[in-house]
Structure 1
Amino acid sequence: MPAAVLAAVILTMGFGIWSLSRQLAPELISVSASPEAAAMAVLPEKSIAVLPFENLSEEKQNAFLADGVQDDILSALSKVADLKVINRTSVNTYSASRPRNLRELAQTLGVAYVLEGSVRQEGAKLRIVAQLTDARSKTHLWKVRYERDLADVFAIQSEIVQRVISQLQATVSPKEKAALDERPTKDLTAYGLYLRAKALVATISLNAQINEKLREAVQLLDEAIARDPDFFLAYCQLAAAHNYLYFFGLDHTPARLALADAALKTAVRLRPDAGETHLARANFFYRCYLDYEHARRELAMAQRVLPNNSEIFELTGYIDRRQNLWNESARSLQRALALDPRNFFILQQIALSYQEFRQFGAMAAALDRALVLIPHDLDTRVTRASVDLEWRADPRPMHQTISTILAENPASAADLAANWWYVALCERDSTAARQALAVMPASGIATDLNFPRSWCEGLAARVRGDTAVAQTAFLAARAELQKTVSEQPDYGPAFCVLGLIDASLGRKDEAIQEGRHAVEMLPITKDAIDGAELMKYLAVIYAWTGEKDLAIEQIAATLKIRSTVSYGNLKLHPCWDALRGDPRFEKIVADLAPKNTQN
């Protein structure tokens, strides 16, 4: 892509959701600013991007310190309502190791000022350099150098924050000043553990190894808290990691819920009125209880204290989506992008929203925008390639993309296992399915539902006609899921997977009962996204148990709502083989076929 075109795409990134929302949210139609207009727009006077600080330490494992200095300065400035501060996901795309065009960068992010710096640690000594630039004129306003003891790192950060506030002539309220004076911890080792964990949680995205990353983060945070029992931010991050494990069904147990609750209660005890506390409570209510109203109230309180935090609007958008408020979700995510215009995770989520609407052209456009920012991210590359499979029933781009990534980096095989297995089934490629299963994590795959590897082995064997192997694998999967539902009796998706397994084993009555129970536990009125997935899989259960009429009715009902049922999935995936040849099913598939290239 030519540099000028790339710059134009990036410049309009913050406006992208408006044009992408044309079909998803008709009332949000707005004329997108051209790159030229965006470049000429008046940048807010009191606006700043804090770029990653360069690590100049001889020991590269000390890179966490440079990351921490930047992160703390950014977090502190974000608490000042009189400033516009770009969030970390966007600024972190500008690596300190690569040349930066500050004027272009500032126009892309919509800021007038840029703070850069470097950190060098030599034993117990520390050197920090910080430089503030007016990016509009490329004028260096000041450059300061600090050479002090390592223990003074937080004091240095505070001085830099005060210099920035003074230069930008920002008004700071007494409450904001008190928040700026807070120190995260006195233990730098604990601080390093916290930063490593925070980075892991921030990169779960579409990643296939989300379970492993979250559990590693929990371990690091437990170590940090053991060193500093009053480490408030570590408790907030620990609660978030437990929330995710519970929310994604990786450990939807009372024990995991209790761990999340304990971490949150400690955070509340340490700083009951902090914005981070309200945000942590909002995440807890949303992810652990689907208690949207309590979560919204906490987000409103968090916004008063954290005016520049894009996560508040991002989480609001996800709540809107779960409540089937898709237009409101688009607005909320747009507000998040205004504060974090290069946040590829939000773009990924926008793409997934379009998938629910079966608007695959818009889904592809959102992923293309994400790939401008993260061109080598394998999860986004594969998801982008999957669009052709779901939209046009063409698995070749997905197959080729996976092959290309494996050739580039064979060590990425485990991350690709779920998608590799999926496209192999759609292509009826038994060899590829075996290869994917060989590198699949023991915990299985976490896609729309959490499937144990034994179930994946059983389905692959069933497709290739190996009945004996399939039976053995499904029995092993059933033992796993029986244990899961006994530990997680209120988790509908687990009952759905058990229903699929029982349908595979010919346990018709049990399978149908389990599938229906799952839908009753998590109806679309409670969760518009996961509820729709359970409806889809109930159709599969009906198909596998010979209830074709019910299966056809269930597919039709699922197609009337927002769901991931697609032309490509119905046409290619073997889970629908029991319905092939039925004129009603074939008509549904034909009606979903793309009529033209516009979507």
Structure 2
Amino acid sequence: MISRTSVMSYRGNTRNVRDIGKALGVSAILEGSVRRAGNRVRVNVQLIDATNDEHLWAEDYDRDLTDVFAIQTDLAQKITSALQAKLSPSEKARIDRRPTQNPDAYLLFIQAHDYANRPDLFRDVVLKAEQLFEQATKLDPNFAAAFAGLSMVESWMYHSFDPLPPRREKARAAANEALRLQPDLPEAHLALGFSYYYGDRDYERALAEFDKAKRDLPNEAKAYLAIGAIQRRQGKWAESTANLEKAAALDPKDASVLLNLAFSYMATRNFEAADKTFDRGIEAAPQAFASRALKGELAIRWKGDVSVAEKELASTPPGIDPEGMVTLGRVAVLTFQRKFPEALQVIQQFREETLPGYSTAPCPKALVEGTLYSYLGDKAKAQAAFERALVVAEQLVRESPDDAARHATLGQILAGLGRKDAAIKEGKRAVELRPESQDAFDGPEITAALAQIYACTGERDQAFALLDHLLANPSGITVSLLQLDPVWDPLRNDPRFQALIDKYGAKT
């Protein structure tokens, strides 16, 4: 069975059933409509054989809204019968069991699930999902699936932009409550797995929970996605890619699954596969920002071509700048083009104090300003900007002292200020917190930050050693990026720089 995420991309679509079945890899399609009028709900459904467009079964329901779960149960049973499918005892139990006795709580849960599964999980979207899940649990304190959904949202926030202990503890508590209420709920095991994964980086315990979820949800793409995501952090790239491809096969129109698969292709420098996968993500979610932005980034890393990113940024409507992502993209493109005054003008129009940085480290606006001033040779303005950035970065580290990305950002600011020893200390601390031996996916990005610090502080031997390592292993560092990015200018006149280009250029 294909997930709702992929199926909903065909909502209102006029393509014929055979084409849809072929695209999704399914033999039958259920289509219909749901209409609500006051406390009444009308459901019209028909099951169609996707191979020959023949109707297998159809039914109309006109019931009280409180009977919605009875309709769901009846639908599942009749579809199973029409398809002559055999259900396991656990599957039969899931069909018969109501997730909640409260229809209003269920409606909030459905709304929350929609927000939590959008392709662009910006802060406001995730916070809305959190709010709706919490409202559902308050209306029905026994709603296990709502607690599981809440836990996964909290874990995602901890992982992506709010790495503070209260967030991690909230995620764990909600997962435990979901399991207390319904110990056999697969989504609760998924939630606990994400809590171990994102919250503790305890890969083994997380994998054990994901395996439990997968047993009862064999067609759940999120379980394969989670397992693959952990495996790439373990450096098991082949196994990881196989699981991510499995997730994409199970949910072929889920842009977030496709993004994760493309990330792995990028890290292993399978650029053609990454490009095709981003195209699939764009097709699945044409209005989403992430796939288009990352396709532009891919062209830069792969070919040193900024035109793709320029095109995507130019097509963004005026006033649209989610969390500063458009601003950051425009600054990056102008910087790669060495149009530093124009980049400075763009960043100075941004009103917020920070922009999205790498992982959980917000990037102080003043850091970008200081970097651009240093490229322009204005040491006084660069110094002043880096001093402003330092105040922000030190506060961010105080809030989350074990966050590697925040230490790396602090180190880069200290390097800009010429505080060499302190900068290198922060860079090394970042690597200690997230070594590649424990995280083969994000770890190299922290290593690259330390290489930048070494380059900026004149420690060329160490910088070249790290770059050689990064180019020889899965990472975001590419020959094209080295040639384009002015951050590596301190190394550019050293013969070893061209030697790296020659050594790895042919492989690219």
TM-score > 0.5, shorter chain as reference: yes
Q: Deviations over 1:159-179 (max 9, x none)?
A: 111111121122233332222
Asked if 1 retains the 8 angstrom alpha-carbon contact of 2:347 and 2:365, the reply is: no
User: Are 1:157 and 2:72 counterparts?
Assistant: yes
- Aligned partners of 2:126 and 2:386: how far apart in 1? 28
- Give me the whole-angstrom Cα distance separating, in 1, the residues matched to 2:422 and 2:245: 45
What does residue 262 of structure 2 align with? 351
The reply to whether residue 513 of structure 1 matches residue 461 of structure 2 is no
1:369 to 280, 291, 310: 280
| RMSD of aligned residue pairs (Cα, Å) | 2.2
Query: Structure 1 length normalisation: TM-score?
Result: 0.79
In structure 2, the partner of 1:428 is 338
User: Cα 1:185–1:466, aligned 2, differ >3 Å: closer, same or farther?
Assistant: farther
CA change 1:211–1:254 in 2 (3 A) is same
Q: Select the residue among 203, 207, 212 that pairs with 1:301.
A: 212
Q: CA deviation at 1:534?
A: 0.8
Deviations 1:263-285 (A, max 9, x none): 11211211122111211111111
Deviations 1:69-127 (A, max 9, x none): xxxxxxxxxxxxxxxx11222212212x2213101111222222111111111122211
- The aligned residue for residue 42 of structure 2 is 127
Change (3 A) 1:493 1:121: same
Aligned residues with identical type, % of pairs? 36
Shift in Å at residue 468 of structure 1? 3.7
Determine helix, strand or coil for the equivalent of 2:48.
strand
Q: 1:441 to 1:162 in 2, by over 3 A?
A: farther
Query: Is the deviation greater in 558-567 or in 372-381?
Result: 372-381
**Which residue of the other structure, out of 258, 265, 282, is the alignment partner of 2:193?**
282
> For residue 557 of structure 1, what is the amino acid of its counterpart?
H
Q: Which of 257, 262, 266 is the equivalent residue of 2:173?
A: 262
Deviation at 1:376, TM superposition (A): 4.4
Query: Which AA in structure 1 matches 2:183?
Result: P
What's the CA shift string for 1:322-370, capped at 9, x where partnerless?
1111111122123223322333333322222122123323322222333
Distance 1:510 1:199, change over 3 A: same
Q: TM-score, normalised by structure 2?
A: 0.93
Match of 1:338 in 2: 249
Unaligned runs of 5+ in 2: none
Select the residue among 71, 76, 93 that pairs with 2:9. 93
Residue in 2 aligned with 1:170?
85
CA contact (8 A) 2:144 2:182 kept: yes
**Structure-2 residue corresponding to 1:588:** 500
1:299-337 residue CA offsets vs partner (Å, 9 max, x unmatched): 221122112212111111111111111111122123223
Give 3-state SS (helix, strand or coil) of 1:389's partner: helix
Contact 1:126 1:150 in 2 (8 A): yes
> Structure 1's 177 and 500: CA in aligned 2 closer, same or farther, altered over 3 A?
same
Distance 1:467 1:192 in 2: 57
Structure 2 match to 1:30: none
Of the three residues 377, 396, 399, the one matched with 2:307 is 396
Q: 3-state SS of the aligned residue for 2:10?
A: coil
Q: Does 1:563 align with 2:479?
A: no
Residue 298 to residue 113, structure 1, CA distance change in 2 (3 Å): same
**Hey, what's the Cα distance between the residues in 2 that align with 1:391 and 1:87?**
33
Does the Cα contact within 8 Å between 2:130 and 2:154 map onto a contact in 1?
yes
Question: Structure 2: how far apart are the matches of 1:228 and 1:441?
Answer: 39
Secondary structure (helix, strand or coil) at the match of 2:349 reads helix
CA positional deviation for 1:460: 3.1
| Amino acid corresponding to residue 26 of structure 2 in structure 1 | V
Alignment of 1:51-450 (within 5 A): 85-95=1-11, 97-203=12-118, 205=119, 207=120, 210-248=122-160, 250-406=161-317, 410-412=319-321, 414-429=324-339, 430-436=341-347, 438-439=349-350, 442-447=353-358, 450=361
State the distance in 2 between where 1:246 and 1:134 align.
44
SS in 2 for 1:421: helix
Q: Distance in 2 between matches of 1:431 and 1:551?
A: 29
**Whole-Å separation in 2 of the counterparts to 1:368 and 1:197:** 27
Tell me if structure 1 keeps the 8 A contact 2:162–2:360. Answer: no
Superimposed CA distance per residue, residues 131-185 of structure 1 (whole angstroms, 9 cap, x where no aligned partner): 1112222112222111122222222111111111121122233332222222233
Q: Is the 2:159–2:360 contact (alpha carbons within 8 Å) kept by the matching residues of 1?
A: no
How big is the shift at 1:487? Answer: 2.5
Give the aligned length: 505
Deviation at 1:531, TM superposition (A): 0.9
8 Å contact 1:440–1:453 — kept in the other structure? Answer: no
Matched residue type, 1:583:
P
- Alpha-carbon offset, residue 439 of structure 1: 4.4
Describe the SS at the equivalent of 2:63: strand
Alpha-carbon contact 1:417-1:437 (below 8 Å) kept: no
Task: Answer yes or no: is the 8 Å Cα contact 2:168–2:195 preserved in 1.
Answer: no
Which residue identity lines up with residue 242 of structure 2 in the other structure? R
